[in-house]
Amino acid sequence: MDTLAADVESTPLVSVGETCERIVRFSREDIATFARLTGDTNPLHHDVQAAQRARHGEIIASGQQTTAQLIGLVASHFSRSDDGKARELLCLNFNFAFKAPVFAEQELVLHWRVSSVEWNTSLGGWLFHADGRATVRHAHPCVIGRGTLLVKAGQA
């Protein structure tokens, strides 16, 4: 193994316990627009009367809206270069479970925590698993997830 390869392997770009977090809030207009742009015609995302007659009684965000924000957070955090380390990130797999609805104007705390990291020689980078959640402040999670990602040293 050459010195450069050994140095890359010995300098992790991600570590167990590392976290990232962001707060988001979806307006009714945000929810309706996202649903329309992604082809989700479920009236629970845009029709107030239909939503009032349904189980939750008001407009709810589509699951993909919350998961898109979660994926965007983890991708942005682990592809950053603000610490002087250039990175390339590939999102390899995500699984999500929907535990509670996300309503308009709720403040959601998006959070990821790295649970495992290992060097993968064949992929030439750090393969890691992260556990995520979207939680309404002071409540149980609305969405929980797990992701498998690969981060590699990028071009400076």
Task: Please identify every stretch of the chain with a pLDDT value under 50, giving residue numbers as ranges.
Answer: 1-6
**Residue 10 confidence (pLDDT):** 62
| Cβ neighbour number for residue 38 with a 10 Å cutoff | 13
**Residue 8 confidence (pLDDT):** 53
Whole-angstrom distance, CA of residue 37 vs CA of residue 39 = 6
CATH number of 3-27+63-153: 3.10.129.10
Domain ranges of the chain: 3-27+63-153
**Residue 107 confidence (pLDDT):** 94
Task: Please report, to the nearest 10 degrees, the dihedral formed by the alpha carbons of residues 15, 16, 22, 26 taken in order.
Answer: 120
Edge-to-edge strand ranges of the sheet holding 141-153: 19-25, 107-120, 125-136, 141-153, 87-98
Convert the pLDDT of each residue in 83-113 to its tens digit.
888 899 999 999 999 999 999 999 999 999 9
For residue 46, give both structure tokens.
């845009």
pTM of the model: 0.90
